[in-house]
């Protein structure tokens, strides 16, 4: 995901900051969104997964309804191709005792010459560039994860019916 965000940063010439929650401080703006959707779902029957899109849109009227996007197989890309990775890892340290990936509190993706990633171990820290240089890549395109909808077993389909 980190490489995909860096490539997005470069492609759109924007800086992206990704923040990780600190343990014990997990309340986010989206908690209220989920609460509003759950409230709307109460005492309501869902017959089809697409019904969740309608419930999401109905969960808020003002200032505007929530936006819900129907995701299908065409929207899901394959980011596992290592030829699209500028960094093979995002560990901020190199040796034992140095910070590890789970120590990260923020990553900044910068669209400079080849795209760089900087990190913070604490939100109060200054940005520090990852100790690894990114690979130079030309234009990148991601393939779709699937060429068609993923089939489900007939027994499952019958059960769902």
The answer to the question of residue 93 being in a domain is: yes
Rg of the chain taking only CA atoms, in angstroms: 21
Residue 71 within a domain: no
| Alpha-carbon gap, residue 161 to 154, rounded angstroms | 10
Q: pLDDT tier at 133 (50, 70, 90 boundaries)?
A: confident
The count of other CB atoms within 10 Å of the CB of residue 4 is: 15
In a domain, residue 147? The reply is yes
Residue 119 in 3-state DSSP?
A: strand
Q: Do 142 and 84 form a contact (C-beta atoms < 8 A)?
A: yes
Domain of 89 in residue numbering reads as 2-28+77-160
Token pair listed for 136: 């130079």
Q: What's the total number of domains in the chain?
A: 1
In a domain, 63, yes or no: no
Within-domain flag for 52: no
pTM for the model: 0.72
- Per-residue pLDDT of 135-149, as tens digits, reads 888 778 888 888 888
77 DSSP 8-state letter: B
């Amino acid at each position: 995901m980190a490489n995909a965000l860096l490539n997005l940063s470069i492609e759109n010439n924007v800086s992206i900051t990704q923040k990780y929650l600190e343990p014990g401080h997990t309340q986010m703006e989206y908690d209220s969104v989920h609460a509003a959707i759950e409230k709307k779902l109460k005492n309501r029957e869902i017959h089809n997964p697409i019904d969740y899109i309608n419930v999401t849109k109905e969960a808020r009227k003002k200032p505007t309804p929530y936006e819900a996007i129907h995701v299908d197989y065409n929207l899901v890309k394959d980011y596992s191709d290592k030829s699209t990775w500028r960094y093979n890892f995002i560990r901020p340290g190199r040796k034992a005792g140095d910070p590890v990936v789970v120590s990260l509190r923020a990553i900044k993706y910068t669209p400079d010459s080849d795209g760089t990633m900087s990190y913070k171990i604490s939100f109060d820290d200054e940005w520090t560039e990852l100790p690894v240089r990114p690979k130079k890549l030309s234009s990148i395109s991601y393939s779709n994860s699937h060429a068609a909808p993923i089939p489900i077993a007939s027994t499952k389909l019958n059960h769902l019916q």
